[in-house]
Amino acid sequence: MIRRATTISVWLAALALGISSCSRTPAPVAAAPDQEWPAYGSDAGGQRFSAAVQITPANVRGLKVAWSFSTGDLISRAGDIKHSAFEDTPIMAGGRLYVESPFNEVFALDPASGRELWRFDPHVDTRVRYGEGFTARGVAWWRDPAAPAAALCATRIFLNTNDRRLIALDAATGKVCAGFGRDGQVDTAADIQLDRPGAMQITSPPVVARGVVVVGSAVADNQRVKEVSGAVRAFDAVTGAVRWRFDPLASANPPIVAGAANVWAPMSVDEARGLVFLPTTSPSPDFWGGLRKGDDGDADSVVALNIETGDKVWAFKTVHHDVWDYDNPAQPTLAMVAWQGVAQPAVLQPTKQGLMFTLNRDSGRPVIPVEERPAPQGGAPGESLSPTQPFPVAPAPLASNVIRPEDAFGLTPWDKAQCQRKIAGARHDGLFTPPSVGGMIEYPFTGGGSNWGGLAFDAGRQVAFVNTSSAMHLVTLIPADKVQAARRAEPDVEISPQTGAPFGMRREVMRSSLGLPCNPPPWGQLHAIDMRTGRILWAVPLGTTEDLARGSQFVLPHAGAPNFGGPIATASGLVFIGAALDNYLRAFDGATGRELWRGRLPAGAQATPMTYVWKGRQYVLIAAGRHSKTGTKAGDQVVAFALPG
């Protein structure tokens, strides 16, 4: 259900890439019209696109740091920051920037200087340990159309917290909206009994439209069959009163024994249609589904709900009977897509499998055709696999999904032979190979393909930009009575009980003893897809490992690196992205895929950037602060780049 980036820093530790960049200073640029970034994905539909054109392929090399802002976490949270991931995408609305720290502190900043205007601390208990660590991807901004413009809380900031609260703040002052819930907050999981406080959290921002705030959740992976419900909840944006509840598993026929199927990734809204779009996840537990016969209801689906009532309008399943943790990890992107010359309102959903589904926004039917193809069979005892799985006919898979022993990667014949033996010793029949007690290769691994960074869409050019990671997991089922002994024998390996199932599970990234991945590079890529034809226009390696492997004797050009975060696109033809496991923000030419610029950052940038124009000047911002599961450098800064003049 929740993404995993297990031990990536270990198996990348021997790599080092280096690409020089130019630093010419262009002539001063003219002032540009102001442009905001009022939602997590720029617009409520998550296109991650800006009409800004001041920064162009011709002058992007002149970008310099304009200002930076520190949340203070390196000092105030020094003992806890190692358990955090700074994945925030700031928003810019109403003439202010809003930043959220991994510990759910919210800061209002001046857009020109980064000067702090106010801050709010919800005082999350840092003694609790969550499955995803302390993580927050952003906040939501909303203007109450019924309130006088000058009234307190006429404009609101909504934030979700790791400890499952939804809080409403006055956007002008940062004070809580006392009339919302109880003292400005509601407990979104008040009806849920958790076996431990960290079993459920909220990592992505809420969405708000038509006076309704919608909230998802992240549920810990692989712990039990009878997991807590992953139901999505909606609240009145003014009062905090419960409006509706939607459980993706309620539609399962026959009824199943399972929980989760939650929505941990960001959601999207089409306010004109009154629809909210959910990327749902797999039911519990991830790797054995013998007690949930059938298709798992609306788990592993893109689901469209009426935002005012919670009624289901349609659902489209991207995985049947998921036993691979292949949940939908990214915000569904809403766009007009001109497939084969016919413009349609669409939903674009990238997946961990490296596939991308394109669906009609009104009906859920595929815009780009989807085929049901035979899937590998022969699951673990008690399992009941789907005979087929859905594959879009275009674009082609964006991540490799077939490996043979002779494909193994190695720097030397010795470590290559190691990987060959590992690959030969596990079952692999391609995508959707079922888990087994003998071990199966899951390729791509559960970190993607695509992950929570999603995609960027340039509607004018009809091009989608998507970043992917490429690695393999070895997943092994362990008889339930041997799980505890296995955990004692390998305390540093991920081994989970899946209580209530006949099997626990063991999961690790496949690598040689040199720490290198066993699958061939590139291990990270950025792709451009023509949505009129489904053709991949270009695919280029993304990222280096210089910040993970300083002093290494190995130099592997074009290897790329796994990445967490997403791209943004601008009308000038640029694509900006951090995400890779190094300390850089990059700019690519959207037409060719050529890397035009990179800006050095003080820490890991496993986040999605944003851009805005304020008082005639365009800024590009990214959170630089680390990703706890990848070992990138810790930090607490938001860094803004701009052209001089």
Return the active site residues.
325
Q: How far is CA 567 from the centre of its chain?
A: 11
CA distances from 34 to 28, 425, 458 (A): 18, 58, 19
Q: Return d(Cα 622, Cα 636) in angstroms, integer.
A: 11
3-state SS class at 61:
helix
Work out the number of other CB atoms within 10 angstroms of the CB of residue 49.
23
241 token code pair: 């009163």
For 522, counting Cβ atoms within 10 Å of its Cβ (0-12 exposed, 13-18 middle, 19+ buried), the class is buried
Q: Return d(Cα 11, Cα 187) in angstroms, integer.
A: 40
Angle at 137 between CA 136 and CA 141, to 5 degrees: 110
Residues 6+ apart with CB under 8 A from 72: 636
Residues 6+ apart with CB under 8 A from 2: 131, 132, 218, 219, 220, 221, 264, 281
462 token code pair: 């009809």
Reported as type and span, the H/E element at residue 50 is strand 49-50
CA distances from 395 to 10, 87, 349, 379, 391 (A): 32, 28, 12, 29, 10
The identity of residue 457, as a single letter, is F
What DSSP designation does 15 have?
-
Name 233's bridge partners.
215, 245
Q: How far is CA 152 from the centre of its chain?
A: 34
Q: Return d(Cα 248, Cα 289) in angstroms, integer.
A: 16
Q: Return d(Cα 297, Cα 316) in angstroms, integer.
A: 10
CA distances from 621 to 39, 89, 568, 642 (A): 14, 8, 11, 9
Q: Return d(Cα 226, Cα 232) in angstroms, integer.
A: 18
